[in-house]
Structure 1
C-alpha cells in the first residue's frame, strides 16, 4: 500500500511532466473546464499556433481523460508551414503579413478544413521582440467553428517579454474556444 510520501512523489512526478509548474491555476482550470464541456458536447478542438509554438496544444493534452476532445494541433511557426499545413496562399501572407487579422482567420479556417475538429483556434503574433517597424506583443487570434462565423481578436500585450505574452495568449485562446463552444 502506498504511503502519503509515495502519493506526493507520484503527484510531483506527474506535475513535472506537464505544464503545471509554470502555469497560473486559472489557466489550468479554464483548460480543464473547456475540455470537460467539449467532451459533454461531443465536440473536438484544434489549434493552429505560431507565436505560442504548440503551447496551447500541450496544455490541452495535459488534462487526463479528455483526449477525445482534442483532435490535433498545428505548430506553424514559419510562413512555409502556414502555407503547406494550413493551405494559406503565400500571396495572402505577403499582402498583409504573417501577423495580421487575415492570416489568423485563414489559419483557423485552414485548421478546421484540414482536420476532423469542430472548433479551431489560431494565434499569430510577436511574443518577443518584433521586427523593425512592428509592435512588440501584437497578437492576432481567430476562432472558427463548423457552421458558424470565424471570430477575430487583436491584442496589444506590449513589451512584457516572450513568456508573459505566451501565457496571456493561453488565456485569450481558451476564452475564445469557450465562447465558440457555447455558440449553437
Structure 2
C-alpha cells in the first residue's frame, strides 16, 4: 500500500508551452553537433584513403581478382625466367615426328633464308630473342643444326632440360643463366 502512495506522490515535470522552444533548440544543437562530428570523421577517413597507394589488382581468366605487389615493368621472378628458358629450349630444339606420337603429320616448317626451313615451334620461340639476333640465329639453326630429313619425316629430335641455373642479372631487363640438357635424335630407319 505504501508503494502506491509513494508513486502517487511523485510529481511529473510539466512542460509548459513556453519551454518547448528552448528544448527544441537544445535537441537540434545536439543533433547538429553529432552530424558535424560524423562529417569530420568521414572527411578524415576519406583523406586517409586518398593518401594511400592504390592496390594493384590482377584479374584471372575465371574472373577472380587478387592483389599483387607493384614492381618495375622489367622485373622478372627467377622461376619465371627458368620456365621461359626451359620452354624456349624445348620449342627450339625439338622437331620432327617423335616415336609414340602415332600418325602425326610432319610439319612443313617455316622458310627463313633462301630455301632453308626451321620448325614452326622454333620459329615461334625465336620471338623471345633480340630482334637483331633473331634472323641470324634462325639461319644458323636452319643450315647448321637441323638435319636435312626433318621435314621429310626421316629425322626427329627431342631436347630434355636437366638443369637450369638460377638467373643472374647482367643489366636492366637482361639475365644470364646456364642450361644443361640432353638432346636425342631419332631416325625412322632406327627408331
Structure of higher RCO (CA pairs closer than 8 Å, 6+ residues apart): 1
TM-score (norm 2): 0.22
